[in-house]
Structure 1
Amino acid sequence: MPKLKIILLSTAFNGLTQRAWLELREAGYRPSVVLFTDPAAVCQQIEESAADLVICPFLKDRVPEQLWRNPRRPVVIIHPGIVGDRGASALDWAITRQPKRWGVTALQAVEEMDAGPIWATCEFNLPEGLRKSQLYNGPVSDAAIRCIREVVEKFSNGFVPVPLDYSRHDVVGRLQPNMTQDDRTFSWHDSTDFIKRCIDAADGQPGVLASLAGSQFYLYDAHPDVRRGMPGELLAVRDDAVLVATGDASLWIGALRHKPQPGEQTFKRPARHVLSGRLDDIPLLDSSLARQPFSDEPYQPIRYRECGHVGELTFEFYNGAMSTEQCQRLVQALRWAKSRDTQVLLIRGARGSFSNGVHLNVIQAAAEPGLEAWANIQAIDDVCLELFSARQLVVSGLTGNAGAGGVMLALAADIVLARSDIVLNPHYATMGLYGSEYWTYSLPRAVGPDMAWKLTQDCLPISALQALRCGMVQEIGPRCPDEFGLWLLQRANSALLDPIYEAIRVRKAERSLPAIQACRAGELTQMRRDMVENRHGFAEKCRNFVLKRKACRTPERLIAPWARVAEAQAAP
């Protein structure tokens, strides 16, 4: 096994950092994580660990001089830009300007930000129409992992990184300023494509500040429509989104954040919630599958189609969060889909996260967050019950990363198929929750009781490959989202006859719904104590997550044993 000691220095243990951690472990390393708290603490942790190499997959903070000046232990930054690109707004500018090619560069930390010598680079064709989080978790993440692999291999072989040289014709990136709201500004008289691109480029953080319904909001989650009206006018409401007229058509806006007053903290919420009280005279469009079963509307958070004997139900909820109301809509959609004359029911996500369980932002905004959380967990349990009780063979397609209840929602299906290289977090304890979504039934059924206990208590991410090995996933499909969609439908169509699923079909026929419901009852007894009575600090953990408060230390579970050696020796 490789002896190289690698530390991942990151602002947060985000999706890319998790994927890098899993990739290195799969290659035989035992990487340790350091979350950036304050420079002195970070330096101490890394110096005492005797690490050989520091890689920064996601770092918003400046690398302390004490670290980057050490010639024996390089600090390598994974920058989401092509060679020569510098600055903190790399993806914002890329989405705004739409170059044909973009990339990721691994460069050594030096005094000047993003100006160090180059370890590796990987380019890709820049897709159109993706918001920043989709670009980051898709092509950027894929390129970053390839760069990290290359960095580790080159370091082991004594590679000397190549200085950045702007005189070379192939170095086309340049230093770019941090994008400001002035750079992002638009008029509702502008084209739909332009406004969408502005919003896509600010996805996640910070959003685009704009006037809407007489107030200032940060905008997120934009989807084009063909309806027309007076630019800036609210035209309609569908589910949680509002439709706003543009210069040439209109845009659905799915999420908003109030512009904060001095000293105030605000967070994004579904647009309809934020504009509550201002929408009384705005037409409400029906989105029910029962009444609009095969709609050609361009924006449908829940949509359905049939192919042969397969009914495919796609749900697309922003950032994978599922509120009480969204779960109730999905229950109604599933009941209708189950009534169709199909033999296989395929449920799948869209291009973003598959699901991350309950909607913490909606919970935090409620007058009684604990009671809203309690309603939300029962609503998502109802979604799972519709899958367990389906007459059809149920296939779930994990199109993106999933966490907590989102993983367990997928496991309520009979067959689970995953897109290559997604990351799963099948645990709840870091949020102070016991967990529900029938996990005490579906997870032991898939992986056995011992592994189920380990996964939920270790609170560590697992890769699609690990999920396949332990039985959570039956097959892994292509990484490309479009290719995966085609593959997923093909596998769902063959699932009824494929001999590899014979045991699963038999198990479905022998399923006992009363036993499954008993698992739910036991889980909810525990969850009431966690959500309503706040037994393990869920209220505080939810607030910290929603307000994006920085970690005060690196969790012990992310520190490798070798990185604790100095700490153990220093203990009395």
Structure 2
Amino acid sequence: MTDYQNIIVERSGAVARITLNRPDAANGINHVMVAELADAARQCDNDATKVVVLTGSGRFFCAGGDLKAFASAPGRGDYIKGLADNMHRAISTFARMDAVLVTAVNGAAAGAGFSLAIAGDLVLAAESASFTMAYTKVGLSPDGSSTYYLPRLIGVRRAQELMLTNRTLSAAEAAEWGLITAVVADTELPTAVAEIADRIAAGPRTSHAAVKQLLLSSLNTGLEEQMEIEGRSIAACAEGADGREGVDAFLAKRAPTFS
């Protein structure tokens, strides 16, 4: 993959690992990082990637937007809008790509870092990780899909509390609220993430893609329309190579080998 300045992209088989790599700036988001993130997401969407792991280098997952870069930009509003556009392009691609996005929250996730963390299909957090919106603390409003995902994950009331009071949640509290998938010990996070990534990578890409699309559509459709979408989706999976292999393997009492 492309060499980047502010992120690192590594591949192992069908698993791509993206690391936000500005540790001296708490992995703060600037225009270079989000442009690179959007490009990396595009590449993962266009190749045979089955799992994308997103994490941060150093002690932080991501402390949000780089406020120093915001303050020094000649057109502050235009700069932030351009940054948000690229971040939203990356998140949209992650949400709609066939590959499963696993976010490995290795430390504090604040502002846009919070938004990126919860955009994962699966979210694993270290015990020392923390989550805070922080936008209104500096006179800004949320971005990075958080106003879409938070009310759906934890309800409007709790989303209001996080966004208006900037309450900080521990990893354990985030798990209790249903904000993340699981909490693991700090030292065990890399192993836990690798295990789940490998498990998903061994599975059927088309089925995983179908799950992602069905869940996205369910947020905006009625019961009967959603069931029709489900029927068409399962039929398409059944006709595909992964569906045929899965059924054949089950009947033959052997482990499936998915493409």
Q: Give the alignment's TM-score, normalised by structure 1.
A: 0.35
Matches within 5 A, 1:17-32: none
Partner residue of 2:199? 494
Q: CA deviation at 1:300?
A: 6.0
1:321-470 superposed matches below 5 A: 321-470=28-177
Aligned to 1:479: 186
Structure 1 SS opposite 2:8? strand
Is the Cα contact below 8 Å between 2:106 and 2:186 reproduced in 1?
no
Report Cα offsets for 1:37-72 as digits up to 9, x if no partner: xxxxxxxxxxxxxxxxxxxxxxxxxxxxxxxxxxxx
State which structure, 1 or 2, has the greater radius of gyration over its C-alpha atoms: 1
The yes-or-no answer on 1:319 pairing with 2:26 is yes
Structure 2 residue 19 is the aligned partner of structure 1 residue 307 = no
Contact 1:381 1:437 in 2 (8 A): yes
Flag structure 2 segments of 5+ consecutive residues without an equivalent.
221-259
Structure-2 change in CA distance of 1:439 and 1:336 (3 Å): same
Higher relative CO (Cα under 8 Å, sequence separation at least 6) belongs to 2
How much has 1:328 moved relative to structure 2? 0.5
| Shift of residue 505, structure 1, vs aligned partner | 7.4
Inter-partner Cα distance in structure 2 for 1:493 and 1:328: 28
4+ residue runs of structure 1 moved beyond 6 angstroms? 502-505
Shift of residue 472, structure 1, vs aligned partner: 1.0
Assess if the C-alpha contact under 8 Å between 1:308 and 1:493 holds in 2.
no
Q: How far did residue 449 of structure 1 move?
A: 2.0
Q: CA deviation at 1:384?
A: 1.6
Alignment of 1:172-183 (within 5 A): none
Q: 1:445 to 1:454 in 2, by over 3 A?
A: same
Structure 1 unaligned segments of length 5 or more: list them: 1-288, 293-298, 516-572
Shift of 1:419: 1.0
State the Cα deviation string for residues 240-266 of structure 1 (Å, max 9, x = none).
xxxxxxxxxxxxxxxxxxxxxxxxxxx
Distance in 1, matches of 2:143 and 2:209, equals: 23
- AA partner of residue 67 (structure 2): L
Give, in whole Å, the separation in 1 of the partners of 2:14 and 2:75.
Answer: 44
After superposition, the Cα gap between the structure-2 partners of 1:378 and 1:364, relative to the gap in structure 1 and judged at 3 Å, is same
- What does 1:200-219 correspond to in 2, within 5 Å? none
Q: Paired residues, what number? A: 215
1:320 match: secondary structure: coil
Cα shift readout 1:464-484 (whole Å, capped 9, x = no counterpart): 00000001110112213xx42
Aligned to 1:230: none
Evaluate the alpha carbon distance shift between residue 503 and residue 428 of structure 1 in structure 2; reply closer, same or farther with a 3 A threshold: farther
- 1:53-132 to 2 correspondence within 5 Å? none
CA RMSD of aligned residues (A): 2.8
Distance in 1 of aligned mates of 2:176 and 2:7: 31
Q: Cα deviation per residue 1:391-427 (whole Å; 9 max; x = unaligned)? A: 1111111111110111111111211111112121134
Determine the C-alpha separation between the residues in 2 that align with 1:369 and 1:461: 27
- 2:211 maps to what in 1? 506
Among all aligned residue pairs of Structure 1 and Structure 2, give the percentage whose two residues are the same amino acid: 22
Residues 441, 477 of structure 1: alpha-carbon distance in 2 compared, 3 angstrom cutoff = same
CA 1:355–1:513: 2 relative to 1, 3 Å: farther
Which residue is 2:255 aligned to? none
Q: Deviations over 1:438-458 (max 9, x none)?
A: 112111222122221222122
CA contact (8 A) 2:97 2:209 kept: no
- Equivalent-residue separation in structure 1 for 2:218 and 2:32 (angstroms): 25
Supply the distance in 1 between the matched residues of 2:190 and 2:102 (Cα, whole angstroms).
Answer: 13
AA at the equivalent of 2:196: R
Counterpart Cα distance in 2 of 1:496 and 1:334: 17
> Which aligned pairs between 1:152-163 and structure 2 lie closer than 5 A?
none
Alpha-carbon shift at residue 322 of structure 1 (Å): 0.8
Residue 478 of structure 1 contacts residue 487 of structure 1 at CA under 8 Å; is this kept in 2? Answer: no
- 2:216 partner SS: coil
Determine the C-alpha separation between the residues in 1 that align with 2:219 and 2:89.
14
Structure 1 partner of 2:230: none
C-alpha displacement at 1:325, in angstroms?
Answer: 2.1
User: Helix, strand or coil: the match of 1:409?
Assistant: helix
CA contact under 8 A between 1:425 and 1:461: conserved in structure 2? yes
The whole-number CA distance in structure 2 between the counterparts of 1:451 and 1:504 is 29
Query: By percentage of residues, which structure has more helix?
Result: 2
CA distance, structure 2, for counterparts of residue 506 and residue 321 of structure 1 = 32
Return the alpha-carbon distance in structure 2 between the equivalents of residues 367 and 384 of structure 1: 26
Deviations 1:9-43 (A, max 9, x none): xxxxxxxxxxxxxxxxxxxxxxxxxxxxxxxxxxx
